[in-house]
Copies of this chain bind each other. A is one copy, B any other.
Amino acid sequence: MRRRILDAAKSLFVRKGFDNVSMRGIATAIEYSPAALYRYFRNKREILTVLREEGFERIVEAQREGEEQIPDPLERLREGGRGYIRFALHEPEYYHLMFCTGCHEVNLEGACASNSMESFNLFGRTVTECVDAGCFGNVPVEAAIFALWSALHGLANLVHTGRVAILSADKDFDRLLEGILAFSLRGATPHPAK
């Protein structure tokens, strides 16, 4: 039952956006009464929170896959970046659900045990590997993590809000993206130990 509510809500949220979906709408989609939803979720926001968590689960899975298949941390970083931007570009509503809806209500308590935290940790570990391997020279690890995370997060956001969209339809977008990634990772040497 919970599952049916979540699926209907996800479909509606992704299609019409969080604010344009009402509890009544979700209820009629699964032929239930609006009040019934409150047996399974405290409120509308909780439905979003659960879905968001599921979204992060997908990202974490992709990250783990990358960790297995791409041994070089620097190349893994680059490929992860590509995937993340692709996600923001091709699943805008899903992205919006996860990163833009109710920005202020990011619950750190919940997030500490969550996939979003796990995703960040995986990213941080990859950057740490790069730094330890000397890819960026002698830089503080923490600064490198936040700087690269910011860059990626910011680019995804800009693409999502359409502020880099002037080019996103263009086939040159891929080249620009590669250029941006190259700049963000500029000066990095792939295999300094060899």
Chain A positions near chain B (C-beta within 8 angstroms): 17, 96, 100, 103-104, 106, 108, 120, 136-137, 139-140, 142-144, 146-158, 160-165, 176, 179-180, 182-184, 186-187
**Contact partner, A143, options B136, B140, B143, B179, Cβ 8 Å:** B179
Cβ of A176 and Cβ of B142 under 8 Å apart? yes
A-B contact pairs, 23 of them (CB 8 A): A17-B104, A100-B103, A100-B104, A104-B161, A106-B161, A106-B162, A106-B163, A139-B186, A140-B179, A142-B176, A143-B176, A143-B180, A144-B183, A146-B155, A146-B180, A147-B151, A149-B158, A150-B157, A151-B184, A152-B154, A153-B157, A154-B156, A154-B157
Complex: chain B residue closest to A152, CB-CB = B154
Alpha-carbon separation in the docked complex, A54 to B153 (Å): 26
Contacts of A155 in B (CB 8 A): 146-147, 150, 154
Contacts of A184 in B (CB 8 A): 147, 150-151
Could you tell me the distance in whole angstroms from the C-beta of A123 to the nearest C-beta in chain B?
Answer: 12
Alpha-carbon separation in the docked complex, A11 to B16 (Å): 31
Other A-B contacts than A103-B161, A147-B179, A150-B150, 18 sampled, CB-CB below 8 A, are: A96-B104, A100-B100, A100-B104, A106-B162, A139-B182, A139-B183, A140-B179, A142-B176, A143-B179, A146-B158, A146-B164, A146-B179, A147-B184, A151-B184, A152-B154, A153-B157, A154-B157, A186-B186
Complex: chain B residue closest to A187, CB-CB = B187
Alpha-carbon separation in the docked complex, A154 to B163 (Å): 13
Could you tell me the distance in whole angstroms from the C-beta of A64 to the nearest C-beta in chain B?
Answer: 21
Alpha-carbon separation in the docked complex, A156 to B153 (Å): 10
Contacts of A186 in B (CB 8 A): 136-137, 139, 186-187
Contacts of A103 in B (CB 8 A): 96, 100, 160-161
